[in-house]
Amino acid sequence: MKTLPEPLTANQRRELFERLADGDVLAREELINGSLRLACIVANKYSFASQASSFDLDDVFSESVIGLIKAIDNFDASYNTELSTYAVPKMRGEIGGLLRDRAATTVTTTRTINVLAHKARHAEEEL
């Protein structure tokens, strides 16, 4: 597995957001790469879901990165908060969407409905 780049310091993030506000496209890429560890940490918290379901932890990590990118694109540095405060809920939301989309959509019925369905099938056969 590829190693992740070193995380950014608060000063580096602040500087990159200033460059991003000035229109520097490379600053966005540096912010994303410098925050991949955060995406990895959030994805690892959902490792139980990848073990119990039909998808891989890589899928969860990918969704976490998508949430990170959306957070970086919409983050307003003027509020004087950390990126992680804004990004973690976004990443968790993306992962939650993955879990909801891929969840089994089985419908459970009560015993009385099953008995009624059996009687209906039996009556249909008689007719």
Domain ranges of the chain: 10-126
* Cβ neighbours for 26, distance < 8 A, ≥ 6 positions apart: 19
Find out whether 103 and 79 touch, Cβ atoms under 8 Å.
no
17-70: pLDDT as tens digits:
999 999 888 999 999 999 999 999 999 888 775 555 566 788 889 999 999 999
User: Which CATH class for the 10-126 domain?
Assistant: mainly alpha
What is the per-residue pLDDT across 99-127, written as a single tens digit (0 to 9) for each?
877 765 556 678 888 888 889 999 988 88
Indicate the SS3 state at residue 118: helix
0.85 surpassed by pTM: no
Element (H, E) at 46: none
What is the distance between the alpha carbons of residues 93 and 73, in angstroms, rounded to a whole number? 16
Q: What is the pLDDT of residue 55?
A: 67
Instruction: Report how far residue 34's alpha carbon sits from residue 71's, in angstroms, rounded to the nearest whole number.
Output: 14
Nearest to 58 by CA among 44, 38, 48: 44
d(CA 26, CA 24): 6
Q: Which of 71, 70, 15, 65 is nearest to 39 (CA)?
A: 65
